[in-house]
């Protein structure tokens, strides 16, 4: 009988997750599973061989049973990207500030992990945005942002949907978000929150120099085309990571892609409860 493999990815503060890692290793060993840590995770936690329930220096592979993310939304997104296009669910424990994508808080980690090992957790399929442009193809699970560079002039972007030009806006940039990403940069821009399960993507503007620039929800089958009418290149980021730029008179295309990643969920979890709990916490 082959060993059950569970990939583990953690955020950059190992002292905060060391105890959780030890507890998960004990649980995994008890259930005939092993936590697989790649070379970076092994070095980060200064681990030595011989710890029960942990395998060191194991590359991230698609044949894992589960991926555990210990961190905030950045770490969870990294885990979701690592297993995008597979059926491997990400079980996320919130060690960040908000953790909107997390499965459980640390105090419920043991309960949730044991249920994950038993295969009784719900799973949620998450969509993405496929971005095509001069820098190649990139997949965004949260959002794509196009923005002027530091010290650069105000950007001028025209945008078209379904072959029809909608308008041209002078702004600091814009954000194209998935439903899961609509509670991040898009929300900060005044864009609408899209409930998980809604198909489509939303476009919102960063500091628009116009009273008529409004956020737009785009249907899942429509292609969004962004054209750089500025005199300078614009920076492009995917899920907060720089991926390239759009030169003057160049364009990028964004498409909605369904069922790209899988997130583990506790029974009874809902988008609206998550919205109340996560953002309610910030207002206290």
Active site residues: 73
Beta-ladder partners of 205: 174
- Nearest of 6, 31, 21, 10 to residue 109 by alpha carbon: 21
Report the chain's C-alpha Rg in angstroms. Answer: 20
- Distance in angstroms (rounded) separating the CA atoms of residues 158 and 230: 10
User: Is residue 59 a contact partner of residue 50, using CB atoms and an 8 Å limit?
Assistant: no
With a CB cutoff of 8 Å and minimum separation 6, the contacts of 175 are: 143, 144, 145, 185, 186, 189, 191, 203, 204, 205, 206
Torsion of CA 167, 169, 174, 179, to 10 degrees: -40
With a CB cutoff of 8 Å and minimum separation 6, the contacts of 5 are: 33, 34, 36, 55, 58, 61, 63, 64, 65
């Amino acid at each position: 009988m082959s060993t059950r493999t569970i990939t583990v990815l953690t955020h950059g503060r190992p002292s905060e997750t060391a105890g959780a890692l030890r507890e998960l290793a004990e649980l995994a060993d008890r259930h005939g599973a092993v936590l697989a840590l790649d070379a970076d995770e092994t070095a980060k936690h200064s681990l030595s061989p011989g710890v029960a329930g942990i395998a060191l220096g194991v590359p991230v592979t698609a044949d894992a049973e589960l991926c555990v993310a210990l961190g905030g939304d950045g770490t969870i997104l990294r885990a979701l990207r690592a297993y995008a296009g597979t059926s491997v669910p990400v079980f996320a424990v919130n060690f960040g500030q908000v953790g909107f994508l997390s499965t459980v808080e640390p105090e419920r980690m043991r309960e949730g992990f044991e249920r994950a090992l038993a295969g009784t957790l719900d799973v949620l399929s998450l969509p993405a945005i496929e971005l095509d442009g001069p820098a190649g193809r990139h997949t965004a699970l949260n959002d794509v942002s196009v923005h002027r560079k530091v010290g650069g002039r105000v950007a001028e972007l025209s945008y078209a949907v379904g072959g029809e030009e909608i308008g041209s806006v002078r702004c600091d940039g814009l954000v194209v978000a998935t439903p899961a990403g609509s509670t991040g940069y898009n929300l900060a821009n005044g864009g609408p929150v899209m409930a998980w399960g809604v198909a489509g993507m939303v476009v919102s503007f960063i500091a628009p120099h116009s009273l008529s620039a409004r956020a737009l929800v785009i249907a899942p089958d429509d292609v969004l085309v962004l054209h750089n009418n500025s005199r300078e290149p614009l920076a492009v980021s995917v899920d907060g990571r720089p991926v390239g730029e759009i030169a003057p008179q160049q364009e990028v295309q964004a498409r909605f892609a369904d069922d790209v990643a899988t997130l583990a969920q506790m029974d009874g979890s809902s988008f609206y409860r998550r919205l109340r709990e996560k953002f309610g916490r910030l207002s206290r």
